[in-house]
């Protein structure tokens, strides 16, 4: 029996609907294009209206133990898929290491291999940090930003006279994703290390030229990987473990507890992610093992 119109949306809101084209064990906040189309058709909703409705689902996975301010975001991919994101605060760590909702949504799109982002919906006006991060998606910053159900603006209007990739001589931003092949220095057969290596191979680090990737293994056997995503203004850059955590939190409680993490980065690069990765991991899983591999 096919779900009714109302139950289909209710299932999506509650997380009981298989929304990814990937197996459930790979779900990291993606709503597949086919499911998006079905929801729009059955609920008689525009794409924008569906995005706004799904903010509540994204917001329900937020983790803000410091501010207690919950943020949900939904990014619209040019492929037709939607991506959920939520803010993540890291107890005992500097506020600058927190992940904003819009960053989470973009990170989930990035790690799902999305082609580009044309709109983002969020339950409030994006802060300056997020406007700067979003400007890295594309050099023309033509993205639309939906703020709740009553206001829509172009990112270019929210961030006039922007400073981004083109100011530093680059012709494209973080999307479309590019890949570079690396090999682990030790030649390890460690499966989690190769997940982190795959993430490092798609890292976006044009400014530091220090690509890196991280992967986490949970008690339920699930793996979440994250690539480093830089920003022209530097500070809004997203470390690889935070990119992995974006998918981990979007997956909800069924993801299980973090048991192990791997960081993969260059042996001789301008920056290292090890210290912040160790500090961030200890906040969520102090007993989890962290291994560092290089290429």
Both tokens of residue 54?
């799904």
Contacts (Cβ under 8 Å, ≥6 apart) of 118 = 76, 77, 78, 142, 143, 144
d(Cα 27, Cα 19) in Å, to the nearest integer? 8
The active-site residue, picked from 102, 114, 136, 195, is 102
Chain mean position to CA 232: 18
With contact defined as beta carbons under 8 Å apart, do 129 and 235 qualify?
Answer: yes
Centre a 10 Å sphere on the Cβ of residue 169 and count the other Cβ atoms it contains: 7
102 is catalytic: yes
Residues 6+ apart with CB under 8 A from 146: 48, 51, 52, 119, 120, 121, 122, 152
Q: Look-up: residue for tokens 């057969």? A: 189
With b for 16 or more beta-carbon neighbours within 10 A and e for fewer, the 64-81 pattern comes to eeeeeebbbbbbbbebeb
Residues in the chain: 295
Q: Which two tokens stand for residue 46?
A: 């525009």
The phi-psi region of residue 215 (left if phi > 0; otherwise alpha if psi is between -120 and 50; otherwise beta) is beta
Rounded CA-CA distance 228/207 in Å is: 12
Q: Which residue, 113, 125, 186, 180, is CA-closest to 150?
A: 125
Identify how many contiguous H helices and E strands the chain contains and give both numbers.
9, 10
Helix (H, G, I), strand (E, B), or coil: what is residue 214? strand
Active site residues: 102
């Amino acid at each position: 029996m096919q779900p009714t119109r109302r139950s289909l949306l209710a299932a999506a809101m509650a997380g009981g609907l298989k929304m990814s084209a990937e197996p459930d064990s790979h779900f990291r906040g993606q709503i597949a294009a086919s499911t998006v189309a079905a929801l729009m058709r059955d609920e008689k909703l525009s794409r924008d209206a569906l995005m706004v409705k799904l903010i509540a689902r994204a917001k329900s996975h937020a983790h803000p133990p410091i501010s207690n301010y919950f943020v949900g975001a939904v990014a619209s991919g040019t492929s037709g898929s939607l991506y959920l994101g939520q803010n993540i605060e890291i107890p005992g760590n500097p506020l600058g290491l927190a992940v904003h909702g819009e960053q989470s949504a973009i990170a989930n799109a990035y790690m799902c291999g999305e082609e580009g982002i044309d709109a983002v919906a969020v339950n409030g006006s994006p802060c300056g940090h997020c406007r700067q991060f979003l400007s890295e998606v594309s050099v023309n910053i033509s993205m639309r930003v939906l703020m709740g159900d009553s206001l829509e603006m172009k990112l270019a209007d929210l961030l006039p006279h922007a400073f981004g990739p083109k100011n530093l001589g680059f012709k494209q931003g973080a999307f479309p994703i590019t890949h570079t092949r690396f090999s682990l220095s030790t030649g390890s057969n460690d499966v989690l290390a190769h997940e982190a290596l795959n993430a490092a191979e798609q890292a976006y680090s044009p400014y530091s030229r220090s690509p890196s990737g991280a992967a986490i293994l949970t008690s339920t056997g699930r793996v979440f990987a994250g690539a480093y995503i830089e920003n022209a203004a530097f500070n809004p850059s997203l470390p690889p473990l935070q990119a992995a955590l974006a998918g981990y939190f979007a997956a909800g409680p069924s993801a299980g507890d973090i048991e192990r993490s791997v960081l993969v980065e260059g042996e001789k690069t301008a920056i290292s992610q090890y210290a912040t990765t160790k500090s961030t991991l200890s906040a969520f899983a102090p007993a989890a093992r962290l291994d560092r591999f290089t290429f």
